[in-house]
Amino acid sequence: MKAHDMLERFDIQTIAAQLDAEGYAVLPGCFDAQEALDLAQYEGRMTPGRDGGELHYFDDDAMPPLFKSWRVALYRWLVPLANRWNHLAGVERAFPTELDAFLEANRSAGQRRPQSHLMRLREGDRLELHRHDEGELIFPLQVVALLGEPNRDFTGGEFVMTEQRPRMQSRPMVVPLQSGDMAIIATAQRPIQGAQGYYRGQLKHAVSRVRSGERIGVELMFHNVT
């Protein structure tokens, strides 16, 4: 089934409400078992992770076709929500309706290096808290996916997020993912309704230490970096 048709299974208003409330929303069952297995075989430009593991980067013109179709469809699906978040946060810039136009704007701004990657974490590896907020043009939403089954292919390796609000302790969240699931998450900031209007919550995400096996996941970003 094509990415666009798969997205039709989900109610965008429900997804938007979950993102407004929590900063993430899970899309279960986006890849079947064979698709997850095939995607997990990807070998690209590799960079060692800071806390172990391997990051295999997708070039924009050499991304696996299934990921590319999902990236295009997800951008088109999410751009109205991204524009609403920018408006609530007091950002005047509106994103174009198509990913190609947004990537062209990235290139014009000097943001040419792709960030999307496949991640392999083995026993003892983890991914430190981070966020993708480098550059002038930052899309406020990104996508993560899991390509292996927890407690079968690996143990540990939970996907976690933290959110910092003014004058409050950081709020930790564990995002429940099974093999083939995607989650839409806030890239770095999101607008939160307060007593005096909207303010910006600051978010980061990470993967906890893998205790056994191999955890294979994906991060899909819509903007590039310099």
Contacts of residue 11, defined as CB under 8 A and 6 or more positions apart, other chains included, come to none
217 closest CA partner among 170, 160, 138: 160
pLDDT > 90? residue 193? no
Q: Percentage of the chain surpassing pLDDT 90?
A: 81
- Per the CB < 8 A criterion, the answer to whether 58 and 45 are in contact is no
**Topology classification of domain 3-220:** Jelly Rolls (2.60.120)
More confident: 78 or 200: 78
Q: What is the pLDDT of residue 1?
A: 58
pLDDT band at 168 (very low <50, low <70, confident <90, very high): confident
| Residue 167 confidence (pLDDT) above 80 | no
Average of per-residue pLDDT across 170-177: 94
Q: pTM of the full predicted structure?
A: 0.94
Burial of residue 113 (number of CB atoms within 10 Å: 0-12, 13-18, 19+): middle
Average pLDDT on 179-205 reads: 92
Alpha-carbon distance of 140 to 110, in angstroms, equals 19
Ranges of each domain in the chain = 3-220
Secondary structure element (H or E) that encloses residue 13, with its range: helix 12-22
Query: Residue 37's pLDDT band (boundaries 50, 70, 90)?
Result: very high
Handedness of CA 130, 132, 136, 141 (dihedral sign): negative
Question: For position 63, what pLDDT does the model report?
Answer: 86
pLDDT in tens, 51-64: 899 999 998 777 88
The 10s digit of each residue's pLDDT in 84-139 is 999 998 888 899 999 999 999 999 999 999 999 999 999 999 999 999 999 999 99
Burial 154-178 (b: 16+ CB within 10 A, else e): bebbbbbbbbeeeeeeeeebebebe
